[in-house]
Amino acid sequence: MMEIFFETKDVFQLKDLEKIAPKEKGITSVSVKEILQSLVDDGMVDTDRIGTSNYFWAFPSKALHARKRKLEELESQFAESSQKKEALQKSIEKSKIGREDTAERAALIEELAALRQKKEQLKADIDKYRECDPDVVEEMRKNINRVGSRPQNWTYIYFEGL
């Protein structure tokens, strides 16, 4: 469809395109309107309404400029990404300073892992004996008192209502 516009460099109406496209490019006349609308939506073909008629056109120079703009945009994104990559590489190199693998570092990492494991074990022991915690016991007492007073309240409300 775009070849029709680029070869003729002319302005068309829909009915003209429905006649030309099947003959020259083998596009079915039923799908010409759909294809044309999708090209308009994508910004590849321009359209304008003059009076009661819609006119469609596309020139090779516009497509060339669109491709150049897209290329420039992609090149700028590439440059930004390259700069970010370089900055991240520098950051990685900077963070490696002082983290060289030594026997002392390996021993400290091993000790840290052992301490973390011990911490998890102690947390498990605390959770196991949680029901003996004075704060938890006091909370349970408060809940028991609250639950125990509810039937008395309902009984009082019931008899007062009669």
The full set of domain ranges for the chain reads 1-58, 62-100, 103-130, 131-161
pLDDT band at 30 (very low <50, low <70, confident <90, very high): confident
Domain 1-58: assigned CATH number: 1.10.10.10
Give the model's pLDDT for residue 154: 66
- Condensed to tens digits (0 to 9), the pLDDT of residues 83-136 reads 999 999 999 888 888 777 788 888 989 999 999 999 999 998 888 877 777 887
Q: Identify the sign of the CA torsion 66, 72, 78, 84.
A: negative
Q: Which residues contact 30 (CB under 8 A, 6 or more apart)?
A: none
Tokens 């491709």 correspond to what residue? 67
Q: Which two tokens stand for residue 60?
A: 């090779």
CA–CA separation, 133 and 135 (whole Å): 6
pTM for this model (two decimals): 0.41
Tokens 């011990």 correspond to what residue? 118
Give the model's pLDDT for residue 72: 95
